[in-house]
Structure 1
């Protein structure tokens, strides 16, 4: 396996060509095994993964604590930790909006540094745009933390081209974290060109569309305690139509000696050297499958066949439920 580094934007940040997203190890995708989760982080590090993505609201801080345990005894300087902040939760696990005020930025950061057991975070980003706070104010507050040495690079998540430009005018933005997959190509029209114009990298999450393109999903899967149970793409006829697309992808993948997951990840990686796919593996076997995508060589004809199997705009259903879609500046 050849996991080459890629520059993440033009701020000097370099990361592995695939990153590991830790969300599902603590929240939103149903129960996870902590020991297996930590073993998966260790396997990723041993394979050369350097980008580890978390959020202070994943499991209400538990995900950061899990990452801290996984990094004990490891060389902190070889790891790039990306943290999202600002999503507000309640004791029942519900969602209460976003807070990206300057004073909140510094408060959230202080707690994240303590939970992670580190003196700096490599990429710090608001999880969503706070509609009550100008993005310039939020980025300005993070920039103060860069100056103080607590943050190395500033990122954003799920913002549109105009917001990205406004933020970048305050302080260089390393990367935009945003959903990007064969089923979610909305960034290609305006957002990706704007990022490239500004020298902002892209960390692509949802590259397997939350499992739909993994080749392992079945229509009868139970989704108790899993937020995909309210996701439009996993409902009724939408689910069957999306799984039919996944089966079409399987045919192309197997013709190349690959799994559907590997083909889907390799397709995202092929979109440019400035795009770094995040994989959300919670188990070592799934991680090994995903990392093998780095060795998958796809010709222009292969890429065309993949896109013919899942044409742009073919996804059935929105990528989030309506209330969550309303929070996405990237969809406005």
Structure 2
């Protein structure tokens, strides 16, 4: 595999509204916990600077990550980097967890207060890409996007994104203000968006930002080559538990065998599969380790032909993947349930 310092990371247009980003982004969530213990602040800043110095310019955070701590960390890293060369994405909409699952809010007042809070924590004048993290199914999407449109007009955000939105919601949102990007879970073992969501995005000129492109680290060896910490979000994840994990190990072995054929790591093969899904696809793997960052960048050198992509897909039959992609108490916040009330019966 080529040395990471010699691997150029191309830039691509994300959506058709003018946003240009590095073809590989960086998901910042794990820097403040969730999968592992939080990194020390200086270590988190160091890995973000290292990612930038290696050509990654697209950084993804959210107000809910680390209960605001993630945005603060990213903001401190930005102070040591050229802001104008970075595409900063953050998200609003998850207000917490209740007894019935995720609490999601999308009222205009909440949108504005969240944006003001993120700008302050990040200590920036504007956010490049501002996503609705989850869709509030009690508020017409027109109301939520209408407020985001005002924030664009005020210069506080440059582009609008959605995450885990249904096809109908995407269309209705896009009619109010062009949507630049849709962030969805997409990996070789999570492909449910391919039938409906991807075609809608391509029809409307919306970029696709896959989160968890390595299957929440599974294809990097999580639960296979390294033990999951007891405090990890993954400890109770359906795909990483008991019989499900035993079955899914067979999938890992198949990808491992194919990776050997392509002279790369399983993580690189899984990430290369996502990268090759189109020029409008920009995955955002996260990591807390420099060696994994270098491994991810190395995936850009893995060249896959059409028949290779099919071989990889066929090695992971979706019906054989054991366990849901998310927890039961978070399922109702996924795109399949993300329609919102009609606005004045006009839409």
TM-score (structure 1 length as normaliser): 0.95
Q: Which moved more, 1:59-68 or 1:96-105?
A: 96-105
Name the CA distance, whole Å, in 2 between partners of 1:222 and 1:158. Answer: 26
Name the CA distance, whole Å, in 2 between partners of 1:331 and 1:310. Answer: 26
Q: Is the 8 A contact 1:146 1:153 kept in 2?
A: yes
Alpha-carbon deviation of 1:299? 2.0
**Residues 247-272 of structure 1 deviation map (CA, whole Å, 9 limit, x = unaligned):** 11010011111000000011001111
Partner residue in 1 for 2:180 = 174
**Residues 35-82 of structure 1 deviation map (CA, whole Å, 9 limit, x = unaligned):** 332221111100111110000010111000100111123110100111
Partner residue in 2 for 1:185 = 191
Name the CA distance, whole Å, in 1 between partners of 2:258 and 2:35. Answer: 28
Q: Is the 8 A contact 2:93 2:135 kept in 1?
A: no
Partner residue in 2 for 1:45 = 52
State the aligned residue count: 330
Name the CA distance, whole Å, in 2 between partners of 1:258 and 1:77. Answer: 34
Name the CA distance, whole Å, in 2 between partners of 1:220 and 1:12. Answer: 41
Partner residue in 2 for 1:271 = 277
Name the CA distance, whole Å, in 1 between partners of 2:249 and 2:312. Answer: 15
Q: Is the 8 A contact 1:37 1:283 kept in 2?
A: no
SS at 2:16 equivalent: coil
Q: Is the 8 A contact 2:60 2:89 kept in 1?
A: yes
SS at 2:116 equivalent: helix
Partner residue in 2 for 1:138 = 144
Name the CA distance, whole Å, in 2 between partners of 1:300 and 1:271. Answer: 10
| 1:113-128 map, 5 Å | 113-128=119-134
Q: Is the 8 A contact 1:212 1:243 kept in 2?
A: no
| 1:22-37 map, 5 Å | 22-34=28-40, 35-37=42-44
Name the CA distance, whole Å, in 2 between partners of 1:45 and 1:271. Answer: 24
Name the CA distance, whole Å, in 1 between partners of 2:35 and 2:270. Answer: 20
Name the CA distance, whole Å, in 2 between partners of 1:163 and 1:62. Answer: 30
The reply to whether residue 329 of structure 1 matches residue 335 of structure 2 is yes
Partner residue in 1 for 2:3 = none
Partner residue in 2 for 1:58 = 65
Name the CA distance, whole Å, in 2 between partners of 1:310 and 1:170. Answer: 38
**Residues 251-299 of structure 1 deviation map (CA, whole Å, 9 limit, x = unaligned):** 0011111000000011001111111111111111110000110111112
The reply to whether residue 297 of structure 1 matches residue 303 of structure 2 is yes
Quick one: which of 86, 98, 107 aligns to 1:101? 107
Alpha-carbon deviation of 1:218? 2.2
Listed as ranges, the gaps of 5+ residues in structure 2 are 1-6, 339-347
Q: Is the 8 A contact 1:245 1:309 kept in 2?
A: yes
| 1:142-221 map, 5 Å | 142-218=148-224, 221=227
Q: Which moved more, 1:222-231 or 1:279-288?
A: 222-231
Quick one: which of 12, 16, 21 aligns to 1:10? 16
Name the CA distance, whole Å, in 2 between partners of 1:195 and 1:222. Answer: 35
Q: Is the 8 A contact 1:179 1:204 kept in 2?
A: yes
Listed as ranges, the gaps of 5+ residues in structure 1 are none
Q: Is the 8 A contact 1:29 1:226 kept in 2?
A: yes
Q: Which moved more, 1:33-42 or 1:115-124?
A: 33-42
Name the CA distance, whole Å, in 2 between partners of 1:216 and 1:228. Answer: 9
The reply to whether residue 79 of structure 1 matches residue 86 of structure 2 is yes
Name the CA distance, whole Å, in 1 between partners of 2:224 and 2:151. Answer: 45
Q: Is the 8 A contact 1:215 1:259 kept in 2?
A: no
Name the CA distance, whole Å, in 1 between partners of 2:260 and 2:157. Answer: 43
Alpha-carbon deviation of 1:225? 1.7
